[in-house]
Structure 1
Amino acid sequence: MPPPTVADSWLAGRHFGIVIDAGSSGSRIQIYSWVDPRTIHVEQGSTLARSLPKVEKGTQNGEDWVFKVEPGISSYADKPETLAEHLRPLLGHARNHVPPSLQHETPIFLLATAGMRLLPPGKQAQILHHTCRFFLLHSYFKLEESSEAGPCGSNVRIITGEEEGLFGWIAVNYLMDGFTGSSEDRTTFGFLDMGGASTQIAFEPGKEHRNDKNLIDVRLRLLGGDEIHHKVFVTTWLGYGTNKARERYVGHAIREQEKTKTIGSSDVIEDPCLPKDLELTEMPMQADSAPHAHEAHRLRGTGSFEQCMVKTSSLLNKTTPCPDSPCLMNGVHVPPIDFSVSHFIGVSEYWYSSEHIFGLGGAYDFVQYERAASDFCSHSWDSILKQHERIKAQHQPLGGDGEVEKDGHIVEVGRWDPSVERSRLEMQCFKAAWIANVLHEGLGMPRIVDAGGNGTTTGHQMEEQAEKKGLGKPTFQSVDTVGDIAISWTLGKMVLEASKEVQPASSMARPIVDPIDDLPNKTDSPIKPIRPPFFDLDAIEDRITPHLPVSLSRSSLGFSPVLLLLVFCLCFVFVVIIYPLRRHIRIACLRWIRDGSKRDKEADLLEEGIGLNGYSPGGSRPPSPTGLRKFLEPLRKVLPGVRSTRPAPLSVITSSNPNLRHMQENSSARVSPTRASFDPVMATTTASSISRSPSPAPAIYQDEIPNYMSGNGHQYQPSASSMARSLSSRSRNASQMSLSNSNGTALPRQTSLSRASSFHEHE
């Protein structure tokens, strides 16, 4: 079906959003749409102003807004380069139903769940990289830039079980009007979801427990611009989905059989969780059954729902230590649940196990549920298959509770839909027992029934009776759709995206973001975002391999050529650069340690009023060398291109120093009147000191110049006061040298003073 055209009135002001639920068994794409909130006229105080944007199916007609392919993307872990085969039909479905003119502003999300969570981080990164790359190359849909969330930002990533639960909680309360009404009397629904690998719970605790440190802020913006705020508890139990629970159950059964096995005993394991006389060959989980982890075992059904309930209850791990009380299953903390106030909606497996075989979807009644499960499990497998074949041949439509109607009368009850697969029939007894155990033994939901049971009621009658008795809403309901919209966490994600587009009532309001992006402290948060490693060798290899000869490919070498190249580069860097500099690096480190000690010593001397290197405490000091300059100095000897950090020659420094420039001028043009006559004694002394190389330099060079050129290469500019003191000292020393003449008489003291004053005049 082609996408709608621009002339279609249904498209006026409409926005689209696409979510691909990448689960463990398959990927389901769902297309949603909503009217741009900025184009809706909303009167303040109206019912519309207290509502969220209306999220609908993304197609105007038909049920093709959803499309599924199998298997899940986690099955491509060992061959991610073939992932395009899986994604191509999904992306093609989206392009066929979103107008081309709107695709560039339509976000597409691929959010992976439990199947991807079980993979190692490296394989997770490979799959996400190939998925992002495929979307970028083959579509114009809106994608974020690469970030810590993933290669395509938050559009392509793995969500945690907690995020899945939060999105589901938003979807349930959106469809069940849990967000309507005033904040004082608003009561939200709890959310229960169970898949093949995990199960989640999300609910808003009572007011007395809303200070729990594990609560997550969920913010949404109503059409009127006001924000609603809820504190929600959410947690997930990985391995507590029906498929993973079955694997654990089989492993436990094999261990028990191995403990009691004797010579000559049968290898067949009696399984009360299979229909009577059904035999299956199953592989246990390797982590749960050590001696025969790789061996298949035969299990034969005995068809006892009551015994199956007992056998599966131990899988809840209720005895696991609880570090943060109270806990439910497997030592996981959960705030107390008041089931007289909190009402829960169960989706996915809660609905499938209740409705598809028993026809008991909707309001939950444990007595009726237990009766239907016991009846099904006790039937022989042959009779179940014959009934299934007969149903498929008749193609009779079923009522809401598995009832067959004829001429307005119910002629048969307990019939399942012809589309039910054989695998569902095989596992129905186990799944029904597991669902009941999780609800009552795991979560603590009470088994509240009428005296003597509800032997005459059906699912929808249970809700009517509860309302007549004033009991309010039923404690638990299994639901698949509300109206024509399926309850799914993907809907909650799109409600959040539509809410982000609402203009806030105040310019100071914070933007609406995903709950995981609203965490004040992700380190201590109960939600730990899944962030596979950003650096991916396989992704780099994908880009390099087409440019390499076939002999250098991974298939020919047996290992990654990129890894080999990386190791070679590291070795090259070490041998060519690091190894020749090993001594200089060691010296630089020792110098850095020594300078640290020197700075400490200088601080002590400054406290006593003594400066290092002849400097007074008030004078300026040469800046300490940085670590980079210390490293570059020895590196310059090996690599000529590196800029030297040595100081300029003394003559350059002197000529560029304004405090020293007058000294050069004084030696030629500017002569002090007191030094107009030639002093043979001074000339002889100066010439002698210059000609003798081993002798120390005059006082000004001996005291000041070494500090001009410090060891770190920095130039030091002496102050005028320090220069005056040095020259004064030199004049004084020179005058003392000529105190005695040839006849032994001393020269007058004012000669020295006149020379000092002469220097000040030139200053």
Structure 2
Amino acid sequence: MPPPTAADVWLASRQFGIVIDAGSSGSRLQIYSWKNPRSTLLEGGDAVRNSLPKVEKGTREGEEWVSKVEPGLSSFAENPEGVGAYLVPLLEHARSHIPPSVQPDTPLFLLATAGMRLLSPAQQAQVLHSTCQFLKFHSNFRIDGPSAAGPCGSSVRIITGEEEGLFGWIAVNYLMDGFTGQSSDSTTYGFLDMGGASTQIAFEPSLKDRDKSRDLIDVRLRLLGGEEIHHEVFVTTWLGYGTNQARERYVGHAIKAHEDKYENSRAAEGSPLGSSTDAEVVLDPCLPKDLALVESPVYIESSTSHARQAHKLLGTGSFEQCLQKTLPLLNKDMPCPDAPCLFNGVHVPPINFSVSHFIGVSEYWYSSDHIFGLGGPYDFVQYERAASEFCARDWEGIVKEHKSTRQRGGHSGDGEVVKGGQVVEVGKWGEKVELSRLQMQCFKAAWIANVLHDGIGMPRIVDLGGNDSTHGEEVAEQAQNKGLGKPTFQSLDSVGDIAISWTLGKMVLEASKEVPLLSNSDRPLVDPLDDIPESSPHPIRPIRPPFLDLDLIEDHISQHLPSSLTRKSLGFSPVVLILSILLTSVLLSLTYRLRRDLKAYFRRCRRGGRWRDRDIILEGYTMEEGKAANGYIGNTPPPSPSSYLPSMLLRPLRRFMSSSRPYPHLISTVSSKPKLRHTHTSPARLSPTTGSSSPTLPYQSGMSRSASPSNNYFDDGTMPSSISSLTRSRNSSQINLTTLVPRQIPISRTNSTLHVPNGSAFMDE
């Protein structure tokens, strides 16, 4: 469809921004928009002065503000040239929804996440370079130039898990009005995010704990009135603690425990290894009852080959046992080098859950809402009851219900059945829920509960009076009536029609950057990690892939080398050795060729401005009564910059500059008063000629100086035909020059002056 036109009222004073979330399974383009901050302030006045720009969808209606392509950007690690064709549909979608007139002012960001982080630095650099080149030369959107962040600056780069957490924290508090509260007891919301590979936490510690924390990041935003607000946020990520990788670790532990048990029993009975068929079946309480899956261990510490083989896991459907089996995966007993720590030895400042309230997205929402219908305010009693009932169900019955749900169209996919605008049933999944989700739901539900309560330390609030409600809104209302305040934790997917995601937080920051500064002393806004000084020991740093990777070079060279010259055979990198030898040879060669100039250079540095050589002759000045024209006393002129550098390096430049002058060997500069250069040598004087009067040049009385004969020749060894002689008298204060034009012009002495005909290079301009 064609892009909207300027006549559209909705477009008046509207700005756009594009974020491409380059994830591991696909790249999702999202278009956001907001009104120009100046226009918003003029229209709203004081009512909007203390608020942030309102970031909305980039399209007026529908879901066309989002477009996705598959697979992930990281799949082009071995074929970076294919990135262009991969991104074409996304660019075309953005062009079709953003007016051409505002495209040059629309920032475009391609920010890669987990998939790209797993590539080698060389692969990262190659994919980012190809992406940058394509976006820069095939779109009209605004893209940064090269910088330390990458070939397209901050527009195309890989973000860390911590940056995802910070952007998500901004998004949550923006949607929940966490940045506009003015009361003394107002606090920002904490942010929890869990994916398949990692989990993040971001929150603002209490005032008393901020002074004790060294790893806080300053998040700066600018309100529409120009006031800058600061929040000191702690953020950290646990790699390997997402649901998928936690499951892989769980399978490895379960198989190892099973093998250890049967190995001991076989040894006691004297049976050979693998003689029992029961040894191939591992009972798994984290699978629905009677569900059988064949899985190979990925993470396992066992010396036996049998333990590393595929095993059958048979579900027993016990949520309580699953909680116990998955609890050790948190590694709570890991050493804590920087107390306090939560799990796996990771430092986290103290969290006061009576004040800090958290919002969870991604897996926190999916595990609660899509199957159980318990998204929103969290109540552990209802959550545990729903999980226990689901895990205990027979897998065959679950499959039949899933099939019938698909056939009759199913529900919305959020676990709730709505009739007449009212929720009449929960715990029913929709047609969007896949069987793979149902297989892993029991494990994921247990993992979420353990991370929340035993990992992060969120208290299990149990209502002793009983609470049979299955609706999160009623739980929140009851908590409010009992004086418990807002729920400690709630899972959300969106607020209104805006989805909660780190891409929204990035755009809120970009829109805030557009607000004019109140004064020139204010600092422009930047991404949070860019505010960390380079000299700071802060553990969180942006990802900066190198543009020269020795490992990549070695991989290419090793293919053409015999096996005896590879790193594996030699025990060291042959590429590093070769490059070191080449670099050393070049340095030694340059040092040898410049040895004389380097000696002179260091000698001049030691002597300072007192040392002069013939290069200083080219600096013109006039001596009059012992005082130089530039104000220096004595015969020593100020040192020129060229006198401190090896003449070998400056000679080509000097030759080029002198070739543009009519008489380069006699004339240095033309100033308000013609100057006659003097030298240090006194060769034999030449006979003067006489002639007519002309403008005069002053010369110091009693000086006897003459230009060096060597300077009267051009570079090819010939003498200029216009120069016949140079004469100076010892006994008078006169100097006689031969004619300085192509024909002989006589020069006469009058009152100790030098007369030069009109048109001479010595005349005042």
TM-score, with normalisation over the residues of structure 2? 0.72
Counterpart code for 1:498: A
What corresponds to 1:371 in structure 2?
385
What corresponds to 2:541 in structure 1?
528
Which piece of structure 1 moves more, 430-439 or 572-581?
A: 572-581
Q: CA deviation at 1:594?
A: 11
What corresponds to 1:102 in structure 2?
102
What corresponds to 1:690 in structure 2?
none
Which piece of structure 1 moves more, 569-578 or 236-245?
A: 569-578
Residues in 2 aligned to 1:270 and 1:443: alpha-carbon distance in whole angstroms: 29
SS in 2 for 1:218: strand
Is there any run of 5+ residues in structure 1 with no aligned partner, and where?
Answer: 542-552, 560-565, 600-617, 642-651, 670-763
Q: CA deviation at 1:83?
A: 2.8
Shift in alpha-carbon separation, 1:45–1:187, aligned structure 2, 3 A? farther
- Counterparts of residues 256-335 of structure 1 (less than 5 Å): 256-262=257-263, 263=273, 264-265=275-276, 266-285=279-298, 292=305, 295-335=309-349
- Counterparts of residues 297-696 of structure 1 (less than 5 Å): 297-397=311-411, 402-405=415-418, 412-451=425-464, 453-521=466-534, 523-535=536-548, 629=646, 661=681
Q: CA deviation at 1:512?
A: 1.4
SS in 2 for 1:29: strand
What corresponds to 1:218 in structure 2?
219
Shift in alpha-carbon separation, 1:504–1:593, aligned structure 2, 3 A? closer
Q: CA deviation at 1:25?
A: 2.4
Q: CA deviation at 1:79?
A: 2.9
Per-residue Cα deviation, 1:353-378 (whole angstroms, up to 9, x for no partner): 10010110000011111111111111
Q: CA deviation at 1:390?
A: 1.4
Shift in alpha-carbon separation, 1:407–1:57, aligned structure 2, 3 A? closer
Q: CA deviation at 1:579?
A: 7.8
Per-residue Cα deviation, 1:628-672 (whole angstroms, up to 9, x for no partner): 849989xx9xxxx9xxxxxxxxxx9xxx9968556978x999xxx
Residue 125 (1) aligns with residue 139 (2):
no
Per-residue Cα deviation, 1:386-441 (whole angstroms, up to 9, x for no partner): 111111222244597x3435568866431111111111111111111111111001
SS in 2 for 1:276: coil
Residues in 1 aligned to 2:165 and 2:253: alpha-carbon distance in whole angstroms: 29
Q: CA deviation at 1:491?
A: 0.5
Shift in alpha-carbon separation, 1:53–1:657, aligned structure 2, 3 A? closer
Q: CA deviation at 1:171?
A: 0.6
Counterpart code for 2:384: E
Shift in alpha-carbon separation, 1:27–1:398, aligned structure 2, 3 A? closer
Alpha-carbon contact 1:38-1:501 (below 8 Å) kept: no
Residues in 2 aligned to 1:89 and 1:252: alpha-carbon distance in whole angstroms: 44
SS in 2 for 1:219: strand
Counterpart code for 1:383: G
Per-residue Cα deviation, 1:251-295 (whole angstroms, up to 9, x for no partner): 222333333343223222222211122222333336866655974
Residues in 2 aligned to 1:528 and 1:267: alpha-carbon distance in whole angstroms: 46
Counterpart code for 1:429: C
The size of the alignment, in residue pairs, is 614
Alpha-carbon contact 2:256-2:300 (below 8 Å) kept: no
Shift in alpha-carbon separation, 1:35–1:260, aligned structure 2, 3 A? same
Residues in 2 aligned to 1:251 and 1:479: alpha-carbon distance in whole angstroms: 32
SS in 2 for 1:274: coil
SS in 2 for 1:311: helix
Per-residue Cα deviation, 1:449-475 (whole angstroms, up to 9, x for no partner): 200543344222111111212221100
What corresponds to 1:145 in structure 2?
145
What corresponds to 2:8 in structure 1?
8
Counterpart code for 2:345: G
Residues in 1 aligned to 2:454 and 2:484: alpha-carbon distance in whole angstroms: 23
Q: CA deviation at 1:60?
A: 0.9
Residues in 2 aligned to 1:329 and 1:587: alpha-carbon distance in whole angstroms: 65
Shift in alpha-carbon separation, 1:628–1:318, aligned structure 2, 3 A? farther
- Counterparts of residues 80-95 of structure 1 (less than 5 Å): 80-95=80-95
- Counterparts of residues 691-706 of structure 1 (less than 5 Å): none
Alpha-carbon contact 2:287-2:443 (below 8 Å) kept: yes
Counterpart code for 1:377: C
Alpha-carbon contact 1:129-1:539 (below 8 Å) kept: no
Q: CA deviation at 1:81?
A: 2.7
Alpha-carbon contact 1:26-1:70 (below 8 Å) kept: yes
Residues in 2 aligned to 1:571 and 1:164: alpha-carbon distance in whole angstroms: 40
What corresponds to 2:76 in structure 1?
76
Q: CA deviation at 1:507?
A: 3.3
Which structure: greater helix fraction? Answer: 1
Shift in alpha-carbon separation, 1:569–1:138, aligned structure 2, 3 A? farther
What is the percent sequence identity of the aligned residues? 63
SS in 2 for 1:254: helix
SS in 2 for 1:40: helix
Residues in 1 aligned to 2:171 and 2:547: alpha-carbon distance in whole angstroms: 32
SS in 2 for 1:506: coil
Residues in 2 aligned to 1:520 and 1:622: alpha-carbon distance in whole angstroms: 41
Is there any run of 5+ residues in structure 2 with no aligned partner, and where?
Answer: 264-272, 563-574, 608-633, 656-665, 667-675, 689-765
Per-residue Cα deviation, 1:80-115 (whole angstroms, up to 9, x for no partner): 333334322222221221122222211111111122
Residues in 2 aligned to 1:146 and 1:625: alpha-carbon distance in whole angstroms: 33
Q: CA deviation at 1:328?
A: 0.7
RMSD of aligned Cα (Å):
4.1
Per-residue Cα deviation, 1:42-90 (whole angstroms, up to 9, x for no partner): 4898231111111000011211111222332223323333333432222
SS in 2 for 1:83: helix
Per-residue Cα deviation, 1:707-759 (whole angstroms, up to 9, x for no partner): xxxxxxxxxxxxxxxxxxxxxxxxxxxxxxxxxxxxxxxxxxxxxxxxxxxxx
Counterpart code for 1:134: F
Residue 240 (1) aligns with residue 241 (2):
yes
Q: CA deviation at 1:538?
A: 12
Shift in alpha-carbon separation, 1:393–1:505, aligned structure 2, 3 A? same
Alpha-carbon contact 2:121-2:549 (below 8 Å) kept: no
Q: CA deviation at 1:595?
A: 8.0
